[in-house]
Every structure is written in C-alpha cells, then in structure tokens.
C-alpha cells in the first residue's frame, strides 16, 4: 500500500466548491447574522439549493474511503464564518447520533427529515447535555420508560445547550432507560416532528457562534413509538443484559456520538484558526509602522510562522483521526481527543494572536477576527471540554483510571 498525503481530485474539487460558497455567500453575511443572533435561514436555503446542506453532501463525505472529505468540507465552511457554518452543520450532529446507534431503516426514515427539502430546509438537534450533566454524561437524568402495552417510550426531563433545540424538525434525545447502569443504561431516541410534550426553551445569548441557535429543551410526557428507539429494542435489551453481567457494553448513545464527531469538531476549529491567520498575514504585509511593514519585524514574522505551524499540526491530527475513524480503527480514545484538543486550543490562541497583529483594528466588532476569537472558544468546550479530552488521552496512554 502506498502512502500519500496528496488530496484526490474529488477532494480538491470539494474543497474549492465549499471555499467558493464560504467566500461568496457566507462571509458577506457573517457580521449581519452575528449581530442579529438569529438562525440564517436564507443562507441555509442557498446551501440546500446547491446541495451543500443536505444528506447527499454528507453521504458523499461518508463515502470517501480516506475519511478526509468531512474535515475538508468543515474547514472551508468554518473558514467562511463559525456562526453561519454551525447553523449549517449543527444538523450533522443529530445525523451523527442516528448514524452512531440507528438501524439502516431508521437512517433511511429520519435522516432526510433532519434536512427537509431544498426549497424548505429543516434543521435537527442532538440533545444530550443537561443542566447537571455536561462533561459527566453518566449524571444524565432524562428518563425514558417503556410502555409495553402500547409499544411506546415515554420521555421526561430537561436538556440543556442543544444546538437547534426547539426549532428542529427532528430531535435526537439521549435518556436513561436503566438508572442502575448509569452511562451504560442510556439510549438514544428520535422525537418526530410535532410530537406533543417537547418544548424548546428561550434561545441562549452566547459569546460566540451567535448565528447558531442554542436552547434548553423540555420533555414532558413525550410519547414516541417503539420504532423511535435508536438501534431497536432487541439490541438495547442485549446491551443492557451484558452491562448487568458486568461485561463490556458498547454503543452508549451520547458517548458514541461525541466520539465519532471529535475530529470533525477539530476541523471546524482549524477553519476558524486558518481564516484568522490569513487575515493577520495579509495585514502584516500591508501595515507600515516605524517606516516598514510590520511583518519585517521578527517578532511578528515568527508569530505568523508559529501560527502556520500550529494550524498545520492541528489539521494533520484531525486528518489522521478522521482516516482512522473511517477505516474502522478504534481511534476514539486517544487520537480523536488529541485532534479536537489541539485544534480547539490552537484556534483560541491563533485568533487571539491575530487580534494582536491587527492592533486596534482587530479589537473592533467591524473586523472578522474579533468574531473569530469569540467563536473559537467553543471548540475547547463543545462536546467535552479540553480537560475531558486530556482525561481521555491520559487514561489511554497510561492505562490508569485517572479521575
Ligand atoms: C454553543 C454550545 C453548543 C452546544 N451544543 C450542544 C448540543 O448540540 N448538544 C448537546 O448535547 N450539548 C451541547 N452543548 C453542551 C456542551 O457539550 C457542554 O457544555 C460540554 O459538554 C461541557 O459541559 P458543561 O457545560 O456542563 O461543563 P461541566 O461539565 O460542568 O464542566 C465545567 C468545568 O469543569 C471541568 N471538568 C469537568 N469534569 C472534569 C474532570 N473530570 N477533570 C477535570 N476537569 C473537569 C470542565 O473541563 C469545565 O472546565 C453545547 C454547548 C455550547 C456552549
């Protein structure tokens, strides 16, 4: 087998196509939607019309045997703008939740409904976090009880921080089915459009990614058919039985989703970092102080060199984890966390450096790097904080159950 880091024609084609959309459609709209703090439906619609928002583009990415198409797409879109890109890609988290635990029939039924159609796009939400259960997924309280007589599941609880929560067509909700088994007693459920009892809370006012809707979701006696249990009852019963016997039970709904999406989340952070770096590089060549362009000062040039190196290093970690994930390797415990951790921290650092290089300009709401810096911070929090990624890695390399 030959080793190559060269992208294929399909991959460069995808990159250039998404880059075009990011620079021509996303960037011009970015500041407006950040200020409005609203879901940018017209931009989502444009993305849907060209096939960028929808199941086809995701299926094309999943079909790539190298696993690189998904990070390439995300890097370019987030290079355009984090908030709008999150509004476009947030649905992907719910879809990943269905992919992680659903049957082929469930995929076929629900994934298209997550996106709606090109003229009338919809969004979907993945609801795992709760007010008392963020990093600690085992503390989840939302309960799902099986009503055997009606073959229905009844869900009660409160979800927190759900991207697209309450405005989604399809909600994918994780819940406890056996409290004694803690995280191993959880399962994922589809909540179909318009199901009574599911109510979205007020949109949270955020520091960054303001074009992306984030809200609590309340579940009050939400009844869904048995067929909405992701993976099906037989598989769940077998998994719970294994867990009760103390055997290793895979397929935990929330963690499975977070693990598979870590490299993709890293790619988003890389896109934001690269955009800030490019702005800083251009500016450093143009801005003259003390009679010469500021890039001629070693301190500035070296900072830019470090930014480039760190961003490339983060991207390579993201690509490796994506490749491993696509090729059936058990990447989740160390390499996926490493990629997300590095990319998130590089994005925060690089966008902050870019603000410094831009001087006063960088500190204004007029300049995109100020928004990029705000947006970047989520990548050290979203889907497990940097500390949690370090914890996963430390456990993997030491074999010790570090707390
Ligand atoms: C914009 C945004 C969008 C989001 N979208 C979604 C979504 O779509 N779906 C969803 O389910 N969730 C979503 N989340 C929630 C997100 O995944 C959680 O915020 C995240 O998992 C952290 O949980 P927490 O906020 O409860 O922090 P906590 O778990 O309370 O952590 C607080 C602090 O303690 C640290 N900490 C916790 N445990 C340890 C430990 N063992 N060792 C060392 N340090 C530790 C953490 O690193 C952090 O610094 C979103 C959050 C945001 C901000």
Residue 367 lies in a domain: yes
Residues 383 and 282 in one domain: yes
Residues 90 and 141 in one domain: no
Residue 3 lies in a domain: no
Q: Which of 215, 244, 273 lies at the terminal end of a domain, its last residue?
A: 244
Q: Is 384 near ligand 1, meaning CB less than 6 Å away? A: yes
Q: Is 126 near ligand 1, meaning CB less than 6 Å away? A: yes
Q: Is 168 near ligand 1, meaning CB less than 6 Å away? A: no
Residue 4 lies in a domain: no
CB 257 within 8 A of CB 100: yes
Say how far apart CA 343 and CA 377 lie, in whole Å.
Answer: 11
Give the Å distance between the CA of 390 and the centre of ligand 1: 14
Atom 41 (ligand 1) nearest CA = 403
Atom 14 (ligand 1) nearest CA = 161
Q: Is 387 near ligand 1, meaning CB less than 6 Å away? A: yes
Q: Is 391 near ligand 1, meaning CB less than 6 Å away? A: yes
Residues 258 and 394 in one domain: yes
Q: Is 268 near ligand 1, meaning CB less than 6 Å away? A: no
Q: Is 99 near ligand 1, meaning CB less than 6 Å away? A: no
pLDDT in tens, 143-165: 999 999 999 999 999 999 999 99
pLDDT of amino acid 249: 61
Give the Å distance between the CA of 304 and the centre of ligand 1: 31
Atom 31 (ligand 1) nearest CA = 135
* CA neighbours closer than 13 Å in the CB half-sphere of residue 240: 17
What CATH number corresponds to the domain at position 177?
Answer: 2.40.110.10
pLDDT in tens, 248-297: 666 566 777 777 889 999 999 999 999 999 999 999 999 999 999 999 99
pLDDT of amino acid 402: 86
Give the Å distance between the CA of 270 and the centre of ligand 1: 20
pLDDT of amino acid 152: 98
What CATH number corresponds to the domain at position 100?
Answer: 1.10.540.10
Residue 73 lies in a domain: yes
Atom 9 (ligand 1) nearest CA = 162
Question: Tokens 């709401």 belong to which residue?
Answer: 365
* Nearest residue to 190 (alpha-carbon basis) of 289, 109, 249: 109
Residues 295 and 194 in one domain: no
Rounded to an integer, the average pLDDT of 113-118 is 94
Give the Å distance between the CA of 382 and the centre of ligand 1: 6
Range of 135's domain?
124-244
Question: For residue 83, what pLDDT band results from cuts at 50, 70 and 90?
Answer: very high
**What would the two tokens of residue 235 be?**
């598989």
Residues 261 and 386 in one domain: yes
Q: What is residue 39's DSSP assignment?
A: -
Q: How many residues does the chain have?
A: 403
- Would you call 345 a catalytic residue per the annotation? no
pLDDT of amino acid 156: 98
Give the Å distance between the CA of 45 and the centre of ligand 1: 30
Average pLDDT value for the chain: 93
CB 225 within 8 A of CB 245: no
Flag whether pLDDT at 231 surpasses 90.
yes
Say how far apart CA 395 and CA 289 lie, in whole Å.
Answer: 49
Say how far apart CA 206 and CA 37 lie, in whole Å.
Answer: 9
Atom 30 (ligand 1) nearest CA = 134
Substitution candidate for ligand 1 out of 98, 253, 374, 385 with most atoms within 8 A of CB: 385
pLDDT of amino acid 332: 56
Atom of ligand 1 nearest to the CA of 127: 11
Say how far apart CA 233 and CA 231 lie, in whole Å.
Answer: 7
Question: For residue 55, what pLDDT band results from cuts at 50, 70 and 90?
Answer: confident
Residues of the chain above pLDDT 70, percent: 97
Residues 184 and 274 in one domain: no
Residues 267 and 341 in one domain: yes
Q: Which of 115, 135, 169 lies at the terminal end of a domain, its last residue?
A: 115
Flag whether pLDDT at 330 surpasses 70.
no
Structurally, how many domains does the chain consist of? Answer: 3
Residues 339 and 226 in one domain: no
Given the residues 32, 148, 383, 387, select the one marked as catalytic: 383
What CATH number corresponds to the domain at position 390?
Answer: 1.20.140.10
Residues 392 and 258 in one domain: yes
Residues 228 and 191 in one domain: yes
Q: Is 382 near ligand 1, meaning CB less than 6 Å away? A: yes
Residue 25 lies in a domain: yes
Flag whether pLDDT at 321 surpasses 80.
yes
Rounded to an integer, the average pLDDT of 9-16 is 96
Atom of ligand 1 nearest to the CA of 386: 47
Residue 337 lies in a domain: yes
Residues 301 and 360 in one domain: yes
Residue 1 lies in a domain: no
Atom of ligand 1 nearest to the CA of 391: 42
Residue 203 lies in a domain: yes
pLDDT of amino acid 403: 82
Give the Å distance between the CA of 395 and the centre of ligand 1: 19
Give the Å distance between the CA of 303 and the centre of ligand 1: 31
* Nearest residue to 87 (alpha-carbon basis) of 202, 207, 173, 209: 209
pLDDT of amino acid 313: 98
pLDDT in tens, 332-386: 578 999 999 999 999 999 999 999 999 998 888 889 999 999 999 999 998 888 9
Q: Which of 198, 215, 244 lies at the terminal end of a domain, its last residue?
A: 244
């Amino acid at each position: 087998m030959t080793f190559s880091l060269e992208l294929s024609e399909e991959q460069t084609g995808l990159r250039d196509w998404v880059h075009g959309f990011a620079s021509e459609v996303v960037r011009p709209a970015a500041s407006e939607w950040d200020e409005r703090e609203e879901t940018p439906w017209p931009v989502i619609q444009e993305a849907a019309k060209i096939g960028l928002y929808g199941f086809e583009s995701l299926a094309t990415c999943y079909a790539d045997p190298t696993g690189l198409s998904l990070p390439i797409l995300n890097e370019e879109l987030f290079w355009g703008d984090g908030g709008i890109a999150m509004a476009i890609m947030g649905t992907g988290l719910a879809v990943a939740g269905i992919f992680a635990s659903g049957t082929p029939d469930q995929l076929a039924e629900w994934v298209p409904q997550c996106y709606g159609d090109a003229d009338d796009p919809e969004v979907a939400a993945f609801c795992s976090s709760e007010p008392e259960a963020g990093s600690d997924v085992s503390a989840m309280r939302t309960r799902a009880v099986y009503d055997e007589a009606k073959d229905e599941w009844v869900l009660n609880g409160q979800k927190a921080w759900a991207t697209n929560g309450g405005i989604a067509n399809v909600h994918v909700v994780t819940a406890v089915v056996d409290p004694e088994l803690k995280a191993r007693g959880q399962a994922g459920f589809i909540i179909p459009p318009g199901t009574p009892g599911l109510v979205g809370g007020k949109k949270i006012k955020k520091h960054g990614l303001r074009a992306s809707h984030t809200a609590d979701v309340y579940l009050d006696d939400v009844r869904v058919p048995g067929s909405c249990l992701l993976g099906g009852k037989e598989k769940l019963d077998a998994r719970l039985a294994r867990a009760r016997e103390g055997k290793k039970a895979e397929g935990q709904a929330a963690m499975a989703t977070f693990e598979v999406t870590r490299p993709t989340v890293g790619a988003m952070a890389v896109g934001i970092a690269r955009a800030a770096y490019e702005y800083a590089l251009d500016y450093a060549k143009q801005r003259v102080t003390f009679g010469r362009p500021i890039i001629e000062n070693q301190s500035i040039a070296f900072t830019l060199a470090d930014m480039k190196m760190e961003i490339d290093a983060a991207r390579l970690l993201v690509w490796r984890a994506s490749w491993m994930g696509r090729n059936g390797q058990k990447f989740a415990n160390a390499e996926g966390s490493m990629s997300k951790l590095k990319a998130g921290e590089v994005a925060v650092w690089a966008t902050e450096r870019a603000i410094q290089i831009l001087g006063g300009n960088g500190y204004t709401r007029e300049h995109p790097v100020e928004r990029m810096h705000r947006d970047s911070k989520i990548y050290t929090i979203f889907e497990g904080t940097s500390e949690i990624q370090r914890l996963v890695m430390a456990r993997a390399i030491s074999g010790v159950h570090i707390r």
